[in-house]
Each structure stands twice: as C-alpha cells, then as structure tokens.
Amino acid sequence: MRRSSLLTVTAWLALGFVCHCALYHAVSAAAAVAAGVTTLSTASRWIVDEAGNRVKLTCVNWPSHLQPMLAEGLNKRPVGAIAGDIAAMGFNCVRLTWPTFMVTNASYSSLTVEQSFQRLNLTDSLDGIRANNPGFVDLQLIDAFKSVVSSLGENNLMVILDNHVSKPGWCCSPSDGNGFFGDGNFEPDVWVDGLTRMATTFAGVPNVVGMSLRNELRGPRQNSNDWYNM
C-alpha cells in the first residue's frame, strides 16, 4: 500500500482489484452477517446470504506480505486480541495479504516463523512473538497464516485473501518487479500456481469468502489508461 484512500466498492473475486488503501470502506451499514454461519453467493450485482439478504463487506487490511511473511503485530499482541479488536471496531471482514512466493518458492515456503525472522535478523520481533504468540514460533509460514485466518473466524470475521506481491516485501513501487505481466518477479504460471494453492488450502474454510487476485496492477505492460478512461 502506497497511500491511504477509501474504496467504496469491494470487488468480488475480481481481477483488476486496484487498491491503495489501508482500509476498505465497503458501502454503508447494514446487517452484518456473522461469518461462518452462512454461505455467501451473488444475486446480480449483490453479495447475499443463504436467505437472500444482502451482505456488505466492511473489511480492514491486515498486511502479511512483508519480508517476514507473518501478519504484522503478532510480536506485540496475541492474535485473538487483535482479531477481537477488529470485530469490536465494527469490521466484519479482513483483507489478509500474502506474497506468492510464500506458497510457491521453497526458499520461502519451507521456513518456520522463527527461521523467517532469524534470516532477517529480526531478533526483537521474534522475542515479541515468543512472548505474545508462542504457538506461532515453530509453525511453517502457511500454518501461521492459517492460524490467523482461524482466529479471525473465531471472532466472526470473514476473510478475503489478497495476493499482494510475488516476492515478499513492501508494496508498491513502479519498479519493484512485483507488479503484473512483464515484471521481474511476476511469472504468470507461478502466480496461477500460488492462487491455486491458496484456493485449495482455504476452500473448506467457511470464513474465507473471497480472493482478490492481484493488488495494484502495474509494471511494464500496465494499461491503466485503458482501464480508467473507458
């Protein structure tokens, strides 16, 4: 995320999900449906629950795509406390970001949380994780990610998995190689492989309600003029 701005429409399983936001401001208030107790579907342009009532996603962004590939802040507070606060603030959903290489590239996917932080010399943060979320330290990164998703589910929060970058790190600059077609770290087959792995992993998890397929489309072949000037 490069700057904060509000998005008024949340894309539903849509490519071209261009967002600079730290916060999704999904349409106005309406009955928030507790996650996990309903199956969502679409009716024309609306997202609806099993009874056909419209469901409005009010999502906050939680970054998990930076170099350590762990949801930010777990060195400061227990995951359940953070999830509880998100729900208490009135959100019903989290946009949880992830880097492709976390699931496609063995030099990242094989790491435990401890190894991931050690490799970056983030010893203070690792101590913080030991203190606040000891159960995370020895988990492989994908299992840590799953634990965050389940903690959100326990707090009735829906989750949208957001493929934010390929190589883990801060997003987004026009020259970070982490954009879209033609970029150094963007290999289409690897991208699809990553999406497939995440979709398969979370297919049976009731509070995961959607995926945004790529954040901030950019790179040598970006065609934003075509998108924005239609």
Smallest gap from Cβ 67 to ligand NAG, in A, equals 9
User: Residue 176's closest CA among 66, 16, 60, 19?
Assistant: 66
User: Which DSSP symbol is given to 135?
Assistant: G
| Token pair of 226 as six digits | 């075509």
Instruction: Report the C-alpha gap between 189 and 192 in whole angstroms.
Output: 5
Whether a cis peptide bond, with omega within 30° of 0, leads into 93 is no
Phi/psi of residue 165, each to 5°? -150, 175
Query: By rule CB under 6 A, what string of x and - marks binding of each residue 188-217 to ligand NAG?
Result: --x---------------------------
- Residues touching ligand NAG: how many (CB under 6 A)? 7
Smallest gap from Cβ 132 to ligand NAG, in A, equals 23
> Is 101 a residue that touches ligand NAG (CB under 6 A)?
yes
Instruction: Report the C-alpha gap between 84 and 100 in whole angstroms.
Output: 28
> Is 107 a residue that touches ligand NAG (CB under 6 A)?
yes
Smallest gap from Cβ 100 to ligand NAG, in A, equals 8
Contact stretch for ligand NAG (CB under 6 A) within 51-59, 101-109, 132-140, 198-206? 101-109
- Which residue ranges make up the site for ligand NAG (CB under 6 A)? 101, 105, 107, 120-121, 167, 190
